[in-house]
Amino acid sequence: MAKNKQESIRVKINDLENIKVEKPKNTNGIVVNVLDFEATQEKYKCNYEAFKKAIDYCREIKASNLEIPKGKYYFNASLDRGEAQIKLDDLSDITINGNGSEFIFSSDNKFISIHNSTRLEIKNLILDWNWDKEPLASLGRIIKVAKDGSYFDCEFPSFKNIKDSFEIRIVGPFNPKEVKPGNKGGLEFRPYKNNHVIESDDEESNKDMEKLVRELSNIITGMEKIKNNVMRFYTTDFIWTLDRIKKDQLYNFRHFEYESTAIYLTDSNNINLESITIYSCPGSGIVGRGKLHNFIINKCKVVRKPGTSRSITTSADCIHIGNSQGNFIIEDCEFSYAGDDCINIHDNTSMGVKVIGDKSIIAKRVDKERNAICEGDMLEFRNGDFSETGYSSKVKYVKYNEEEVTCTIELEDKVPESLNEKTIIFNRRYCTENYIIRNNKFHSNRARGILIHGSNGLIEGNSFYKIQGTAIQIEAGAESRWAEGTGVNNVIFRNNFIESCDLNRWIMAVIYMGVYLPDGRCNYPIFNNIIFENNTIVDCPRLAFYLSSCSDIFILNNTIINPNTGTFNGRVYGSSQNELPIYDEYYQGTIEIVKAKDVVVENNERIEYVDTYSNGIYFEKGNTSNIIVKNNYGFI
């Protein structure tokens, strides 16, 4: 039975090789040059109008190529919020060749938007933020902590003179010797109130969901410049400061988070992004949404600019694909030093429903941009543990209350009275699945390597090195800041190399599968038909695999070297905060399986060259069934 199931998964994944992304078909040979429209490489002179005229002309005459002679081009137009400095909308069958040009942006508008376009190719381009205007982040070293914990002083060595005050979105630990994200014992915090939390009118559910927000906040009350490059930070909790803030710790102070996007893709298809380098952006690198499908990101990089001391590339994810139609390839790329995940793939959900009529509800914690429920959408309603309610219905009418972050929805079918504050809504219009992530390099990154919420995927031949959190995280859930993921089904992870990840004990394993829900981990298997095979894992402080809320999972022929090298007592969980486990759990072994059924762990090898604290394969007998463990080496 297990062999048949494996074969079924492999057949479905083999079909992904049929994903096709068409190149531009225009062969009329018409070439447009941006210099003919007064584009300039003069420093800080804005090219917004010149590029707009050139692109409009390409659209008008159906040009096959837009040529950008190699050089530096600056963009700093004052535009409305949400607009882009370069709009590649309503284009088809055209290649845009940057020839190695560097675009430098100074406003927090989107850098480039691509909307309603097809068979579009963009290649040989560098995108960067103007750090002369404002740095995206600053590295600060703790040089003094007040004896009573009322303040700490931080020196910013890469600056001769800092501003009297500056914005701080979030602060994270860096290794002071290697100058990379993540450090043993380091912690992460928001200096002020976390403004990403979304509350409803139900206080009890708010409390339950806010327990899942694993971010320290309200740490700093104010700041004072005391020397040219030294800032004093006054603290809220003196005892906490004395316990956590230590002399010579190095922290990355991020000044931006979600202000912009380098390349924003919507409602387009057959998009080819090749050999594009993103040095930095005050937001995500590449974002894809809406009716976007069939696209490839090939030989692209998100890396720090050589010759600089920068500590961040994108202030959010390198690649963020969500609420889309899927069918994409990410291949031969490099991702590093992002403020969040290297790759995040998901569709958004929401939790909380109030029944207000026979066919009417109010959906809670529904952001108009993030969730985007429209007339005609098919909504599926799940229980608070992801199990099926049996109820789905099409939307007839929708009206958003943006102030309360709610949405009034009229449905075609009678609404069950059982829908409640913990009901989860899946919008089945979205389908971010069918993807290949292959032969990429992930390294030196703050959050996860790959965060997967989508089905039908092949993740192979990638390398992960010094990721602060998990290398691979498979997840679904709902909490106060966001709700993401409708489950993961039919994915193969193979031939990946994972080394020195989970630097800050971000979660509890370098490969993690689990939910985050107000009522805790669920028995319902929201993750199914997944194979991990022929992967190598080296040097992880705790577990190699933690798998939960799943069925039909295969862990085959993996090599695990020097796992469980950290300590396993005291604070053992948290988003770089080293807190106690949120679900009052005890983690153990090199491979742990909980709330799962039909799992095979076979022909895996565990090797240790140093002392480790645990070396077993554990599963909960009361909450698991049909767990097959055989022919493994080096485990107890």
Contact 280, 302 (CB under 8 A): no
Asked if residue 606 and residue 477 are part of one domain, the reply reads yes
Please report which confidence band the pLDDT of residue 570 belongs to, taking 50, 70 and 90 as the band edges: very low
Contact 427, 379 (CB under 8 A): yes
For tokens 């040095």, what's the residue?
279
Residues 6 or more apart whose CB falls under 8 angstroms from that of 324 comprise 288, 289, 290, 291, 292, 293, 347, 430, 431, 432
Closest C-alpha among 134, 128, 136, 133 to residue 73: 128
The residue among 554 and 567 whose pLDDT is bigger is 554
The mean-pLDDT minimum among 236-240, 315-319, 391-395 falls in 236-240
Instruction: Give the DSSP H or E segment for 59.
Output: helix 48-61
Q: What is the pLDDT of residues 218-238, one digit of tens each?
A: 889 999 999 999 999 999 999
For residue 371, being part of any structural domain is answered with: yes
Quote the CA–CA distance of 296 and 299 in Å, as a whole number: 10
C-alpha dihedral, 518 to 623 to 503 to 458, nearest 10°: -90
For residue 582, being part of any structural domain is answered with: yes
What average pLDDT score do residues 66-81 get? 96
Half-sphere exposure of 179 (CA within 13 A, CB side): 12
Q: What is the pLDDT of residues 401-433, one digit of tens each?
A: 989 999 999 999 999 999 999 999 999 999 999
pLDDT value of position 587: 82
For the chain, give the percent of residues with pLDDT over 70.
Answer: 94
Asked if residue 233 and residue 168 are part of one domain, the reply reads yes
In the predicted structure, residue 215 carries a pLDDT above the cut 70: no
Quote the CA–CA distance of 167 and 91 in Å, as a whole number: 38
Total count of domains within the chain: 4
Q: Are strands 151-155 and 230-235 parallel, antiparallel or unpaired?
A: antiparallel
Last residue of a domain, one of 343, 358, 387: 343
Residue 14 DSSP label: H
Asked if residue 289 and residue 211 are part of one domain, the reply reads no
For residue 635, being part of any structural domain is answered with: no
- How far CA 49 is from CA of 113, 125, 228, in Å, comes to 15, 19, 40
Q: What is the pLDDT of residues 12-68, one digit of tens each?
A: 999 999 999 999 998 789 999 999 999 999 998 999 999 999 999 999 999 999 999
Asked if residue 232 and residue 154 are part of one domain, the reply reads yes
Residue 620 corresponds to which amino acid?
Answer: E
For residue 8, being part of any structural domain is answered with: no
In the predicted structure, residue 309 carries a pLDDT above the cut 60: yes
Q: What is the pLDDT of residues 107-146, one digit of tens each?
A: 999 999 999 999 999 999 999 999 999 999 999 999 999 9
Global pTM reads 0.96
CATH code assigned at 291: 2.160.20.10
For residue 12, being part of any structural domain is answered with: no
For residue 222, being part of any structural domain is answered with: yes
For residue 501, being part of any structural domain is answered with: yes
On the 0-12 / 13-18 / 19+ scale of CB atoms within 10 A, 332 is middle
In the predicted structure, residue 216 carries a pLDDT above the cut 90: no
Report helix, strand or coil for 195.
Answer: coil
Phi first, then psi: what are they for 551, rounded to 5°? -150, 155
Q: What is the pLDDT of residues 366-385, one digit of tens each?
A: 988 888 999 999 999 999 99
For residue 3, being part of any structural domain is answered with: no
Q: How confident is the prediction for the chain on average, in pLDDT?
A: 93
What average pLDDT score do residues 177-182 get? 93
Please report which confidence band the pLDDT of residue 577 belongs to, taking 50, 70 and 90 as the band edges: low
Residues 6 or more apart whose CB falls under 8 angstroms from that of 559 comprise 535, 536, 537, 604, 605, 607
In the predicted structure, residue 294 carries a pLDDT above the cut 60: yes
Asked if residue 503 and residue 578 are part of one domain, the reply reads yes
Asked if residue 417 and residue 358 are part of one domain, the reply reads yes
pLDDT value of position 1: 67
In the predicted structure, residue 201 carries a pLDDT above the cut 90: no
Last residue of a domain, one of 316, 343, 370: 343
Q: What is the pLDDT of residues 493-522, one digit of tens each?
A: 999 999 999 887 778 899 999 999 988 899
Name the residue range of residue 480's domain: 436-630
Contact 190, 219 (CB under 8 A): yes
The DSSP line for 110-157 is: EEEEEES-EEEEEEEEEEEE-TTT--SEEEEEEEEE-TTSSEEEEE-T
What average pLDDT score do residues 549-559 get? 98
pLDDT value of position 574: 47
- 17-41 as b/e: b if 16+ CB within 10 A: eebebeebebeeeeebebeebebee
Contact 496, 463 (CB under 8 A): yes
In the predicted structure, residue 249 carries a pLDDT above the cut 60: yes
Last residue of a domain, one of 366, 398, 427: 427
Which tokens belong to 489? Answer: 């089904």
